Amino acid sequence: MLFNSYEYLFYFLPLSLAAFFLLGRRARWAVAALVVASLVFYSWWNPKYLPLILASISFNFAVGQLLRRGSGHAQAVLACGIGANLLLLGVFKYADFVVRNATDLSGLPLALPHIVLPLGISFFTFTQIAYLVDVHRGKAKEPSFVNYALFVSFFPHLLAGPILHHSEMMPQFASPSNKRPQPFHLAAGLFLLAIGLVKKVCIADPLAPVVASGFDHPESISVLAAWLAVLAYTLQIYFDFSGYTDMALGAARMFNIQMPVNFDSPYHSTDIREFWRRWHITLSRFLREYLYIPLGGNRHGLVRTAANVMATFLLGGLWHGAAWTFVAWGALHGFGLLCVRVWERTGRRLPRVLAWATTFVFVMLTWVFFRASSLDAAWMMLRTLAGGSAVAEPWRGALQRALASDTQTSPMLVGATLVVGLVVITLRRNSNVMALDFRPTWPRGALVAIGLVWSVLQLGKVTPFLYFNF
Amino acid sequence: MDLPTSPGTGTERSSGRWLAAVLLSVLSCLFIAAAFVVWVDPFQQYHLATRYQPRFYYLHHRYINPGLAKHQAYDTVVSGSSIMESTRNDFVAETCGSSGAINLSMPAMSASEQRLMLETAFAARPLRRVIAVLDFNEFSGGVDERQDVAGPLPRYLFDANPFNDLPYLLSEDVLMKAWRIVRGDTTERFTSDPNGAWFWGNIVQFGRDQVLRGLDLEHLNARYRQPQRTLGGMIASFDHNLMPLMRSHPETEFDLVWPPYSILVWLDFARRDQMRVSLDFKRYVFEATQTLGNVRIFDLQSDSGITHNLDRYYDIYHFEPAVNERMVEAACRNHDHVNAENLNAFERQLLSQVATIAKPEGLEALLGAPRAAQGKPGRYEPADQR
């Protein structure tokens, strides 16, 4: 089930809230109800994968118990636990990728397993790896299976994060006061949910056709159309992901749960390191705490630091998807971060505007690898961006054609969406700041109501038969 | 990590009022929007359009057919892909002697969509007759596979559950359509003839030149990009989608019709190794339905009077409305009925026709002498481009 769906907004979320607060006096029942709701949420897409997440939760809980009780083989138990999680992720997410590459390398006609990727597997696997490490380090302990199941499956974070620490969530789940409805948090949650829904439905989604028209045929578009497509994607991915995260944080807040911030105006960044402190913050935190620092971090000289950075970013790239394009994207960001480190050693500082522009353009160009269907397609797009396109088109025509790629939305509206998106990313106050100092004022209420009504009406698109010539 | 602290009892109280006001405003607005959609009902999901001229929006078959199936009066259904769209309801009713007929065809229809559409019709009323025109391509891929070009399938409109209708009730697209109807705005493309909601036979040109325009005779499938089919896959889809329907409605007569594609389609099948698959599938359908007393099969695919006359076609697949009528007549007046005695004869005839057309002289006889066009010898060009 998606946050931006009718069934979630009109049925699932209100019913879950009602069940949770009605059972609030009996804490265990309330928690159990939320676990059941989360599992329903998860299996809505495909019930076939419900046993998978249940098995994963049960296994990790058992390993956590073993680690918690302490034994002479804690290191081995932890290694087995992490190994099993990575194996699960490997089988479901990377099997096709590995087999395809093995086929390419060996020339043997190996059959692709074609395993369908279960929703949220990357998120719930990483969340649980972090839990096991935290238990091993003595930072977490969870004796209750139901509580643990809620920590992993809590539906607001289940499909797209944030990636949670056990220690930041369980005290909140345990608090009796959090099981009573609190109008202030319900209102603040609704406010954040509305912002997220508007970001996703009214900004990110209308840009998708502009992006697709550019990235689907990079060889047959003009330079301007290519830049427009990349800019549109830069905005789309931010508004899509951060909008979804806002909806997650908003829903959690309604349950009196504060989840960690995942996006903090990343396009304000003036270097790549800052970008990663602002973009998908909980993933950066995970990679730093559970990969980069255990590898040695920056404690063993420049060369070792560079190797650690590159390893972290390569794996971080691969975590996003099983394709070489994601590896390339991660490698570029790792390289960018190393460049920042080297530049800092010179002691020189770029003017702020230049630093911002350099960072923004770098991030934009690296998104090409993230979005392209293959490395070849990414190179083709970069060539077009650099002016290597054979298509020469007057700027006005190129602009009109790119904005008219969605036959159902007026080009003016798409253009306006691009402009609004650009304006919003430059604003000083982002959704987290606005949610933190939320006050239930009437102008804000009117904006929330308009935003919600407008977004809901955008959810049900009527898409006729697409192949006009029969 | 902690929740931001609540700013006090006063704010809690004002938050409660704020929340109630916002939710009430949102739900009121959405309720008004939904009520307006129900009242106008552009897709006739809750009632037929009686207060205004119905609008059968261009290529919106999957959105409008479910409503028509639920509310129109009929006892006979025509079900097929785009090739059957130009079939008028009154012709079917008159030819088949029914009290009312409805054409529920959909472009690029898959077998699973055909099943869903017919299930919707059966849920609405008992049916006397179903004329199901079988398109080979609807059985390609998995049993629930749909063609990408078909666009999303609004399943919520096909069932009787009102709780999943929100995408229809709360959609800006639908709301705007309702508003345009109320305003009398006719800028959208639609027809208003309930007798031929999806009839396109009067807006396109038929003829040999039209069929050959831009056609690559060496790669006949280049324009249509029809997927390769397997016999196993087609049988699985037929068994999964149509057989249960025919079994569970013994009171309804099912007339399965093999449509007369132009002979060029069969030439394409032969070149793409799809000939045997198609013929074996036809044979399977015949054998599988032999035990069902309510199923009859009609085959017009070897009727050279149609299939070899390209003037009756829009492209190599789509024929003129008179051919649609011919198929309906076959079903309701019992022509071209396939039985155990003539099954092999139908197949032999078709194979012989394809063998002839596969020879250069056979093709030339069909198309006329080839002319070199734009440096491509052997490429046929329509007369107006020569």
Closest CB to B60 among A187, A456, A464: A464
CB B108 within 8 A of CB B150: yes
CA distance A183 to B14: 8
B293 touches chain A (CB under 8 A): no
CA distance A377 to A369: 9
In this structure, what token pair is assigned to residue A98? 């590995």
Task: Give first-to-last CA distance, chain B, whole Å.
Answer: 78
Q: What is residue B53's three-state secondary structure? A: coil
For chain B, the farthest-separated pair of C-alpha atoms sits apart, in whole angstroms, at 93
A266 touches chain B (CB under 8 A): no
- The residue written with tokens 């992901």 in the block is A241
CB < 8 Å to A262, chain B: none
- In the chain, the amino acid numbered B82 is S
Each domain of chain A, given as residue ranges in start order, spans 6-181, 185-270+350-462
pLDDT at B348: 92
Give the dihedral sign, CA A37/B6/A198/A230: negative
Let me know if residue B14 belongs to a domain. Answer: no
Closest CB to B173 among A187, A257, A462: A462
pLDDT (average), residues A106-111: 78
pLDDT at B379: 55
Note the pLDDT tens digit of each residue in A345-361: 888 888 999 999 999 99
> Given an 8 Å threshold on Cβ–Cβ distance, is B3 in contact with A460?
no
CA distance B344 to B322: 27
Let me know if residue B383 belongs to a domain. Answer: no
CB < 8 Å to B146, chain A: none
Closest CB to A465 among B149, B166, B173: B149
Give the dihedral sign, CA B124/B130/B131/B134: positive
Note the pLDDT tens digit of each residue in A114-123: 777 788 888 8
CB < 8 Å to B1, chain A: 168-169, 172, 258-260
B62 touches chain A (CB under 8 A): yes
pLDDT at A407 over 90: no
Single out the catalytic residue among A73, A185, A217, A320: A320
- In the chain, the amino acid numbered A457 is L
Of all residues in chain B, the one with the smallest CA distance to A409 is B173
Of all residues in chain B, the one with the smallest CA distance to A252 is B3
Q: Mark A265-303 as b/e (b = at least 16 C-beta within 10 Å).
A: bbbbbbbbbbbbebbbbbbbbbbeebbbeebeeeeeeee
Neighbours of A106 (CB within 10 A): 9
Find the CATH number of the domain harbouring B260. Answer: 3.40.50.1110
Angle between helices A324-346 and A352-371 (to 10 degrees): 160
CA angle, corner A127, sides to A122 and A133, nearest 5? 125
Q: Mark A392-419 as b/e (b = at least 16 C-beta within 10 Å).
A: ebeeeebbebbbbbbeebebeebbebbe
DSSP line for A316-367: HHHHH-SSHHHHHHHHHHHHHHHHHHHHHHHT----HHHHHHHHHHHHHHHH
Of all residues in chain A, the one with the smallest CA distance to B11 is A184
Read off φ and ψ for residue A53, nearest 5 degrees.
Answer: -70, -35
pLDDT at B385: 41
CA dihedral (B167, B168, B172, B177) in degrees, to 10, reads 160
- Which among A201, A413, A461, A462 is the top mutation candidate for probing chain B, defined by the most B β-carbons within 10 Å of its own β-carbon? A462
CB A1 within 8 A of CB A44: yes
pLDDT at B1: 67
- The residue written with tokens 């105006």 in the block is A265
DSSP B151: -
> Given an 8 Å threshold on Cβ–Cβ distance, is A458 in contact with B25?
no
Q: Which domain holds residue B285?
A: 50-167+186-375
> Given an 8 Å threshold on Cβ–Cβ distance, is A258 in contact with B12?
no
Q: What is residue A256's three-state secondary structure? A: coil
Closest CB to A460 among B12, B58, B167: B167
A443 touches chain B (CB under 8 A): no
Helical ranges in chain B per DSSP H: 9-40, 61-71, 89-96, 111-124, 166-169, 172-183, 208-212, 231-241, 243-248, 263-271, 275-289, 304-307, 321-333, 343-357, 360-367
> Given an 8 Å threshold on Cβ–Cβ distance, is B4 in contact with A169?
no
Residues within 8 A of B (CB atoms), A 381-410 only: 408
Three-state SS across A402-456? Answer: HHCCCCCCCHHHHHHHHHHHHHHHHCCCCHHHHHHCCCCCHHHHHHHHHHHHHHH
B108 touches chain A (CB under 8 A): yes
Let me know if residue B58 belongs to a domain. Answer: yes
pTM value is 0.87
pLDDT at B370: 57
Distance from CA of A110 to the nearest CA of B (A): 22
> Given an 8 Å threshold on Cβ–Cβ distance, is A183 in contact with B61?
no
A461 touches chain B (CB under 8 A): yes
B195 touches chain A (CB under 8 A): no
Q: Which H or E element spans position A60? A: helix A50-69
DSSP B337: B
Q: Which residues contact A386 (CB under 8 A, 6 or more apart)?
A: none
CB A257 within 8 A of CB A154: yes
How many domains would you assign to chain B? 1
CA distance B49 to B194: 10
> Given an 8 Å threshold on Cβ–Cβ distance, is A463 in contact with B26?
no
pLDDT at A105 over 50: yes
Let me know if residue B380 belongs to a domain. Answer: no
Confidence of residue A470 (pLDDT cuts 50, 70, 90): very low
Closest CB to B175 among A186, A408, A457: A457
> Given an 8 Å threshold on Cβ–Cβ distance, is B171 in contact with A182?
no
Kindly give the pairing relationship between strand B253-258 and strand B101-103. unpaired
Residue A320 a catalytic site member: yes
> Given an 8 Å threshold on Cβ–Cβ distance, is A456 in contact with B30?
yes
Residues within 8 A of A (CB atoms), B 309-338 only: 315, 317-318
pLDDT at A18: 95
Closest CB to B1 among A178, A260, A467: A260
Closest CB to B4 among A259, A436, A452: A436
CB A186 within 8 A of CB A21: no
CA distance A277 to A272: 9
Note the pLDDT tens digit of each residue in A429-443: 899 888 888 899 999
Let me know if residue B174 belongs to a domain. Answer: no
Q: Which of A246, A256, A262, A264 is nearest to A187 (CA)?
A: A256
DSSP B187: -
Q: Which of B266, B175, B276 is nearest to B226 (CA)?
A: B266
More confident residue, A49 or A466: A49
More confident residue, A397 or A83: A83
B173 touches chain A (CB under 8 A): yes
Classify the phi-psi angles of B8: left when phi > 0, otherwise alpha if psi is within -120 to 50, otherwise beta: left
Mean pLDDT, chain A, rounded, equals 89
Residues within 8 A of A (CB atoms), B 27-46 only: 29-30, 33
Q: Which residues contact A17 (CB under 8 A, 6 or more apart)?
A: A181, A186, A254, A255
Task: Give first-to-last CA distance, chain A, whole Å.
Answer: 33
In this structure, what token pair is assigned to residue B386? 């020569």
Neighbours of A18 (CB within 10 A): 12
Read off φ and ψ for residue B190, nearest 5 degrees.
Answer: -160, 165
Reading chain B (386 residues) residue by residue, the pLDDT tens digits are: 677 777 777 788 899 999 999 999 999 999 999 999 999 999 999 999 988 999 999 889 999 999 999 999 999 999 999 999 999 999 999 999 999 999 999 998 999 999 999 999 999 999 999 999 999 999 988 888 877 777 788 999 999 999 999 999 999 999 999 999 999 998 888 999 989 999 999 989 999 888 988 888 888 888 878 888 999 999 999 999 999 999 999 999 999 999 999 999 999 999 999 999 999 999 999 999 999 999 999 999 999 999 999 999 999 999 999 999 999 999 999 888 888 889 899 999 999 999 999 988 888 888 876 554 454 545 555 444 43
